[in-house]
Structure 1
Amino acid sequence: MEIALQATGLTKEFKGFVAVNNVDLSIEKGTIHALIGPNGAGKTTCFNLLTKFLQPTRGTIKYEGRDITRMKPAEIARLGMVRSFQISAIFPDLTVLQNVRVALQRGRGESYDFWRSDKILSRFDDRARAFIDEVGLTEFTDERAAALPYGRKRALEIATTLALSPDMLLLDEPMAGMGREDVERISKLIQKIAENRTVLMVEHNLSVVADLSDRITVLARGEILAEGTYDEISKAPEVIEAYIGASHD
């Protein structure tokens, strides 16, 4: 078993309030791992710690065996661990192609020079089109991002993340606000991109978690309540009481 991402004793305190308490977490390479829990469980804080948008009060985080505890998000992105929406938002007035081209340039440490000629910028087009095709947006290549339906915008955000060439992808509630058709589309997309990458996701949609996840960690009150496959955690009385039961009474 190879471990892609490992947290040991991960703790975050906010002025005496312990939001995440002594969490040990191991994400196997090549798997889809879900982080779930009821509201206030500490999922978002834990996710922000792992992606380095917050610094832990105590504990260590290792990626591919390397200590990244004190690194910044941009530094770990260069190591191959990228959070979705790392390019904070899509550019609404740019086309789908131009958005992915921005990400490709940033992935190579270049600024996006809007005044450059199309001939110079077009050297990124072939790779950009490959990522656009991978997320199913080929027919929208020349559409303005602002004109895309919500689910397609999320797909574009994933495409810009993939353009940074991650080995591990961390997705924060990828299905939030989506209708059934978009959920099915993005679920298939996550399955596809996970074929040769490790994925960690925070997700509220339990049917998505059941269908996609190889392993699930359940948080409650900032601590790990249970961990295992969906079949295992869905039968655990403490999980039913704290999370599943509360959601489906």
Structure 2
Amino acid sequence: MQFSSSKTEKSVPGDEVILTASDLTMEFKGFVAVNKVNLSIRTGSIHALIGPNGAGKTTCFNLLTKFLTPTHGKIIFKGKDITTKSPADVARLKLVRSFQISSVFPNLTALENVRIALQRTRGDSFDFWRSQKIIAGFDDRARVLLAEVGLLQLEGVIAADLSYGRKRALEIATTLALDPEMLLLDEPMAGLGQEDVERIAALIKRVSVNRTILMVEHNLSVVASLSDCITVLARGGVLAEGDYATVSKNPSVVEAYIGAGHA
């Protein structure tokens, strides 16, 4: 693992905290996967959760996104205790997860996919029985979201025919249709070639304006270029936290990634 990259300029987040986790712990039949993790995520920031394999990142992320309920600890979002709430409950509070369960229907066009996501915000079903005129009323907003993720020129393309990177961009568009205040990204660069990595990194930076982002990511160059704050996990606990310059020089972090013999 190489800790090297220059940080891209972006707006400075505020001091207000949008999400906190206190003593977050998850135990599976005697095995402690997450051990008393404390997090504080500032409004408007891009916060990265990183660590070597087996560090507890995925479990911690599943706790924060409510796919798991912690054994111990508390999660507060916008002043509300969401520790025992469901993913649907927290989505209604505008805490939305992307990249874990795809929102993309492969046989529908990019525009149709975003339009369906917008229909969900009505609180009804997908309204398939409604007139085409009513459904088309979502098209203008859908096109705005497609433009935001760089897919407007591909609005009529079937999702299955999009490249893998552009499918990821479409997933972001469908997530943005839920109007999140905080967006949680699970390994957004996984499986992407370098060109798509650069495209999705630029997209994440664009959509972070007026939104808070928490991401789990293995690509350290992306983490370095995008993140305001980085939390490093190892063996289920917090090993270090700070900006990239701080954590990349921490001897414990370097050892956790590449071993003391290569530090």
Normalising by the smaller structure, the TM-score range is over 0.9
Larger proportion of helix: 1
What residue is the counterpart of 1:170 in the other structure? 184
Matches within 5 A, 1:1-249: 1-85=15-99, 88-243=102-257
Deviation readout 1:38-69 (Å, 9 max, x if unpaired)? 00000000000000000000000000111000
Letter in structure 2 aligned against 1:46: C
Please identify, of 80-89 and 53-62, the stretch whose mean Cα deviation from structure 2 is larger.
Answer: 80-89
Letter in structure 2 aligned against 1:150: Y
Letter in structure 1 aligned against 2:36: N
Q: 1:66 to 1:244 in 2, by over 3 A?
A: farther
Q: Provide the C-alpha distance between the structure 2 equivalents of 1:111 and 1:86, rounded to a whole number of angstroms.
A: 22
Deviation readout 1:175-199 (Å, 9 max, x if unpaired)? 1000111011101110011111000
Letter in structure 1 aligned against 2:143: R
The alignment's TM-score, normalised by the length of structure 2, stands at 0.91
Q: Would the aligned equivalents of 2:16 and 2:43 in 1 still touch at CA under 8 Å?
A: yes
RMSD in angstroms over aligned alpha carbons? 1.4
Gaps of 5+ in 2: 1-14
Q: Would the aligned equivalents of 1:76 and 1:82 in 2 still touch at CA under 8 Å?
A: yes
Q: CA deviation at 1:139?
A: 1.1
Letter in structure 2 aligned against 1:208: V
The alignment's TM-score, normalised by the length of structure 1, stands at 0.96
Q: Provide the C-alpha distance between the structure 1 equivalents of 2:83 and 2:76, rounded to a whole number of angstroms.
A: 7
Local SS of the residue matching 1:195: coil
Q: Would the aligned equivalents of 2:169 and 2:200 in 1 still touch at CA under 8 Å?
A: yes
Local SS of the residue matching 2:213: strand
Q: CA deviation at 1:86?
A: 6.9
Gaps of 5+ in 1: none
**% of aligned pairs identical?**
69
Q: Provide the C-alpha distance between the structure 2 equivalents of 1:85 and 1:218, rounded to a whole number of angstroms.
A: 21
The structure 1 segments of at least 4 consecutive aligned residues displaced by more than 4 Å after TM superposition are: none
Q: Provide the C-alpha distance between the structure 1 equivalents of 2:184 and 2:164, rounded to a whole number of angstroms.
A: 20
Please identify, of 12-21 and 88-97, the stretch whose mean Cα deviation from structure 2 is larger.
Answer: 88-97
